[in-house]
Amino acid sequence: EGGIERHSYDVVVVGAGGAGLRAAIAAHEAGANTAIVCKSLLGKAHTVMAEGGIAAAMGNRWPEDNWEVHFRDTMRGGKMLNNWRMAQLHAQEAPERVMELEDWGALFDRTDDGLISQRDFGGHKYARLAHVGDRTGLEMIRTLQQRAVQIGIDVFMECTVTELLQEDQRIAGVFGYWRETGRFVVIDAPAVVLATGGIGKSFKVTSNSWEYTGDGHALAMRAGASLINMEFVQFHPTGMVWPPSVKGLLVTESVRGDGGILKNSEGKRFMFDYIPEFFRSETADTVEEADRWYDDKKNNRRPPELLPRDEVARAINSEIKAGRGSPHGGIYLDIASRRDADYIRKRLPSMYHQFKELADVDITAEPMEIGPTCHYVMGGVEVDPDTQQSAVTGLYAAGEVSGGMHGSNRLGGNSLSDLLVFGRRAGESAAAYAAGLEKRPQVDDGLVRAGEWSALEPFNAEEGENPYSIHHDLQQQMNDLVGIIRTASELEEALAGIQRLKERAAAMAVDGHRQYNPGWHLALDLRNMLLVSEAIAKAALARQESRGGHTRDDFPKPDPEWGSKNLVVRLDEAGTGVDLTEQPLPVMPDELKTYFQE
Ligand code: FAD
């Protein structure tokens, strides 16, 4: 394979978001020679966009807060489908991980007593989100990145991994290309941590950026790993709806945490009509009580605007469907009439600028128009809860690409903490595994040639459809048929549609050459999006109940039977589609069950 660029490490981390950076730091500190590969520039990962904060039961505002309450909130938010052990580790270790970020230089907002400030978010009983204004992700990335670079971790940026290389099913390295030159690169490594983030770019309206094409999900499946919870996609209730160029862009939940309310076109504060039985006892049922809560949280229950995201997104969807939406097909989010302008500008500086610059709306003076947007995937690589190892020896996953932690619905703030807790664990386990190997798996030359061949395939066809039109159709279908509200007939239509898109993709062609060629890059990403979309639609069709991020119009209630099992997705025998199986949920030990007895 004359002249292919080649490197060798103990641990390769794919992804430079919070999970990847934290994993790489842990692996390096455990003594592993470690590299990070990321397809955008360092610092551009999704994590940088995180606004609201990091959930951790530090008890700075509420001494009553502790890991047990955080664990309980997380499990209830996920409608008890979470892997209990992951939820436990996450709640126990998040405070330490936040303190450590502070030690490494992160500057969090403060309480009057000088402690790290914590803000309210949906589904969290106590104010729990450590934050830096509404730019928490930026501070987190800045801190982790600085540390990673300082301790000497090598970074391959603008480099996309397209294959995991294996010997006898064990990980032997990764294959990828430099986005700028189109040249290939092989990195030999016995341990790989996937930290590639989410899948949002398979949907038309999304808060996610161009990078989130489900690469890690697809790479894991192709290597023989399993995915769980893929039917659970989180639609964030509040994305921008206008102007069209920014449709889907996130409006942080902090707007509601800081006092913002939702109104329909009739001016009605409608969330009171949508309080589900499951959360009734802890949700205010009058405007008066809801408003008192902001100042007196002890004696009042939470406003219904702060129900978990799945509940709020469904309610907004219903109001819009019933014809009570805003002019541009959303609903109103109003903080202007509730807080003074100074407060809004101080607490929500990014939101203020986002609306001013992009929509010419002054959020201190008028309501925002918002609607649901595809935001996060709960589903991902099935991992051991303590080590983050997948079913493939040498392959680990952490962050949004892994599954189980959030069950059927993630609480806001629980992703950034997840990245830190499980990123660290993944990095440590990967380093320990690599160090314990007597003989490392070798990368066979044939595999390298296969990687090259596969990556160059879109150039082979003389004539064919371009990847953009296929991507466009996939996004439209996922939005229309696999969105917030689902039915069997639409999901079947989606699966048939994905088959046709796969046939079109098999015959697609790209123009030009390998130097910075976005069409080619999309062609490669599209294979992943199609595989992952099939996994989502298939699991969504199989799960005949409504739970968390998965709502079936034809099965509108949760079903206790379904509440005890996961759907597991693997690559099918032909290697082109997915197979689905059911698997019982791990059983929570009795001492943890006591937290859920009312
Ligand atoms: P990411 O940060 O998504 O990073 C993925 C990395 O993988 C990138 O470096 C990318 O280049 C790389 N990559 C992907 N594919 C490849 C490939 N094939 N080859 C090489 N590299 C690859 N969560 C919270 O807890 N609190 C919040 O306040 C919050 N706010 C949010 C606001 C917005 C607008 C969005 C979109 C999300 C928000 N979330 C929030 C969710 C949270 O930010 C993400 O879930 C989280 O950052 C994902 O981190 P990650 O490390 O798993 O992956």
Dihedrals φ, ψ of 502, to 5°?
A: -65, -40
Query: What would the pLDDT profile of 106-136 be if each residue is shown by its tens digit?
Result: 999 999 999 999 998 889 999 999 999 888 9
CB 123 near ligand 1, within 6 Å: no
Q: How far does the centroid of ligand 1 lie from the alpha carbon of residue 1, in Å? A: 34
Question: Residue for token digits 């919870």?
Answer: 229
Ligand 1 within 6 A of 226 CB?
A: no
The per-residue pLDDT for 66 is 97
Q: What is the pLDDT of residue 2?
A: 52
- pLDDT higher than 70, residue 598: no
Residues 363-401 have pLDDT tens digits of 999 999 999 999 999 999 999 999 999 999 999 999 999
CA neighbor of 332 nearest in space, from 410, 251, 430, 402:
251
Is residue 50 a contact partner of residue 412, using CB atoms and an 8 Å limit? no
* pTM of the predicted model as reported, rounded to 2 decimal places: 0.94
Distance 198 CA to ligand 1 centre (A): 7
Residue 194: what are its φ and ψ, rounded to 5°? -85, 125
Residue 596 has pLDDT above 70, yes or no: yes
Q: Which residues are catalytic?
A: 236, 256
Q: Is the peptide bond before 385 cis (omega within 30 degrees of 0)?
A: no
The sign of the CA dihedral 360, 364, 365, 371 is: positive
pLDDT in tens, 148-200: 999 999 999 999 999 999 999 999 999 999 999 999 999 999 999 999 999 99
Q: How confident is the model at residue 251 (pLDDT cuts 50, 70, 90)?
A: very high
CA distances for 407 relative to 12, 81, 374, 378, 585, angstroms? 28, 4, 17, 7, 10
Pocket test for ligand 1, best of 118, 196, 411, 526 (most atoms within 8 A of CB): 196
Ligand 1 pocket test: which of 21, 41, 42, 47 has the largest number of ligand atoms within 8 Å of its C-beta?
A: 47
- Is the pLDDT at 1 greater than 50, yes or no? no
**Per-residue pLDDT tens over the stretch 521-540:** 999 999 999 999 999 999 99
Confidence of residue 463 (pLDDT cuts 50, 70, 90): confident
47 Cβ closer than 6 Å to some ligand 1 atom: yes
352-370 tens-digit pLDDT = 999 999 999 999 999 999 9
Which tens digit of pLDDT belongs to each residue from 475-512?
Answer: 999 999 999 999 999 999 999 999 999 999 999 999 99
Q: What is the pLDDT of residues 14-47, one digit of tens each?
A: 999 999 999 999 999 999 999 999 999 998 899 9
Rounded distance between C-alpha atoms, residue 202 and residue 532, angstroms:
9
Cis peptide before 560, with omega less than 30 degrees from 0?
Answer: no
Phi, psi dihedral angles at 466 (to 5 degrees): -85, 155
Question: Token pair of 311, please?
Answer: 């509940």
Distance from residue 48's CA to the centre of ligand 1 (Å) = 7
